[in-house]
Structure 1
């Protein structure tokens, strides 16, 4: 009986630790968003995105610089991931996994979540600010729908209710774009944020297969390395040709971005936060289950705007980062919707009661 009680207590502590780690991933995602945005106001980025725009066209500023910002962040994040894998003695596993089918699946997930969703996220942040973050938090709802369509996964009434809550929340956030006080570019930013949500939802479906068969730390390293390199070597040059007229144009911007010390300090921090966020998300999922882990990570719909407001608005004193009350309410409501998709919220109370009874 004492052994059984000890085992039950250990299981309960393991679950609580997993929930704490998954919740921490949402917080770190908020800081990643804030420091990334801050980095894109410093050094050469201040010239490119400032009032004079350094002679760059609107298309270059919106799309090429958005892709470049995502590329710099993901490259920094990949470096942190590779350093961590080397510290853990897993670099050999990293290269071996690249040759396997699960590794190829992770590469596909990285291509979807990096160049497509990641760039859309950065562009949306630049166009509309932190109000787009709760929109991108629709990815669990979109992932649930795609899982039903692509993999015939379960989609019951409770999950449909959670999706409905998320959709209503997104409409509440979108309502802030109605009226004369809405900032320029808000509608476009919200639309681009939806692209990011779709991309991340699809990535979650694809990556779920890959991470079920390889070490989560190796999966993170593959994801971040492929995302950074594909952004830097594929998407940015393509945008350079389309919007700048030549690859040399984008190459010049890349060199200036990576040699801008005042900005790279913050990109290094945002890359670290992104790496820690993904690592905690995967670890949390393995400890408390993918459904509950996904719900806990989805709290970035609140932490994202909050961290941007603290870092950009309160600490740095940059205007435009405060959110209307309806956006805060919608962000919290979306967190509840995400939790409903992942699990029955009443189960948390049941588990707590069960643990207390077992302990007694």
Structure 2
């Protein structure tokens, strides 16, 4: 009897290993999907900011000051996307009967931590990201993808997280990729504000790196779905109710009129609605993928948005809608792929992907 109980069934063991491998594979695919959706979020948001009233605002005879065009419209575009994403998040939470969990959790200490992180990653990072996109195009996306590398550095100094030689190598690869992208601004035939746009992309990466470090604490004690809802709601409404009014008043414009005009433009809002859905799903699949294949591998897979962002912008805005300026030079495409390699190297040993598990 003891031998029967203690005996191992080879078929059962093989089935268990196959189930675990399939689960991890699904996790990798889910995390990769989050990176792809981030590309769609970038493309849809940027497309929305070229339609309807936005085309007039960015036109030569808009009557808006240079400050308003650069900062107010950037904040307003981010606010439209983040607010739509917040509405998607609360709608799904309500449908699943979890809205009360959201209200209860946001009052707790981990919930407040998530709110602080969302303010850094929402109004600050999102606005910088949008401003960078408007000034330098899709070249900003790989620069913003420096956030895992920056997050690793910040975590080392703030939380004493260990940085080994492999992680330092990955950080070096990421910054090498950013310099490759920056080199595209050294020629004569480049946009006038390219380097300034890349700088704003770096600011976005810095803020998202800080957000990632802070959220590590919050999400360790909050259900991911609730954490994402807190994040999106805070980002959306803090952008809409704080940053946009401040920039509008500095510009001598009515924030209520600007917001009302933006949200009342159906030609543009359909793309912001899609961008908001893509942003929500990006976070959902990122957290879900992390839980299935591990945070390190999940972060690496999500970091592929450094490639998918420019690719989606090129396909949707450049090819489908025929807008000029969305082609990337070969060195920028190469740099985006190098960035992906660097992110993978920070998160894990790439050689582990090719090692066979012990039987």
With the shorter chain as reference, the TM-score category is: over 0.9
Gaps of 5+ in 2: 1-8
1:132 corresponds to which residue? 140
| TM-fit CA distance, 1:241 | 1.9
Which of 158, 170, 190 aligns to 2:166? It is 158
What is the aligned length?
350
Which of 240, 245, 256 aligns to 1:232? It is 240
- SS of 1:340's equivalent? helix
Separation (CA, whole Å) in 1 of partners of 2:179 and 2:341: 15
* Alignment deviations for residues 69-111 of structure 1 (CA, whole Å, 9 cap, x no partner): 0001000001111111112211111001011111111101100
Separation (CA, whole Å) in 2 of partners of 1:84 and 1:123: 30
- SS of 1:74's equivalent? helix
Deviating beyond 4 angstroms after TM superposition, the runs of 4 or more aligned structure 1 residues are: none
| TM-fit CA distance, 1:239 | 1.0
1:79 corresponds to which residue? 87
Q: Say if 2:326 is the partner of 1:321.
A: yes
- SS of 2:14's equivalent? helix
2:290 corresponds to which residue? 285
1:250 corresponds to which residue? 255
1:260 corresponds to which residue? 265
* Alignment deviations for residues 223-260 of structure 1 (CA, whole Å, 9 cap, x no partner): 00000000000111111122x136xx222111100000
Separation (CA, whole Å) in 2 of partners of 1:252 and 1:210: 36
1:180 corresponds to which residue? 188
Which of 3, 19, 22 aligns to 1:13? It is 22
Calculate the TM-score normalised by the size of structure 2: 0.96
| TM-fit CA distance, 1:185 | 1.0
Separation (CA, whole Å) in 1 of partners of 2:339 and 2:327: 19
Higher mean C-alpha displacement, 166-175 vs 2-11: 2-11
Q: State how 1:203-242 maps to structure 2 within 5 Å.
A: 203-242=211-250
Separation (CA, whole Å) in 2 of partners of 1:141 and 1:195: 13
| TM-fit CA distance, 1:184 | 1.7
1:334 corresponds to which residue? 339
Q: State how 1:336-355 maps to structure 2 within 5 Å.
A: 336-350=341-355, 353-354=356-357
1:97 corresponds to which residue? 105
Calculate the TM-score normalised by the size of structure 1: 0.96
Separation (CA, whole Å) in 2 of partners of 1:257 and 1:338: 36
Q: Say if 2:314 is the partner of 1:309.
A: yes
| TM-fit CA distance, 1:214 | 1.0
Across the aligned residues of Structure 1 and Structure 2, the Cα RMSD in angstroms comes to 0.9
User: Quick check: which has more Rg, 1 or 2?
Assistant: 2
Separation (CA, whole Å) in 1 of partners of 2:232 and 2:171: 29
Which of 126, 138, 145 aligns to 2:153? It is 145
1:113 corresponds to which residue? 121
Separation (CA, whole Å) in 2 of partners of 1:215 and 1:180: 51
Separation (CA, whole Å) in 2 of partners of 1:206 and 1:231: 19
| TM-fit CA distance, 1:183 | 1.0
Separation (CA, whole Å) in 2 of partners of 1:106 and 1:266: 27
1:171 corresponds to which residue? 179
1:4 corresponds to which residue? 13
2:60 corresponds to which residue? 51
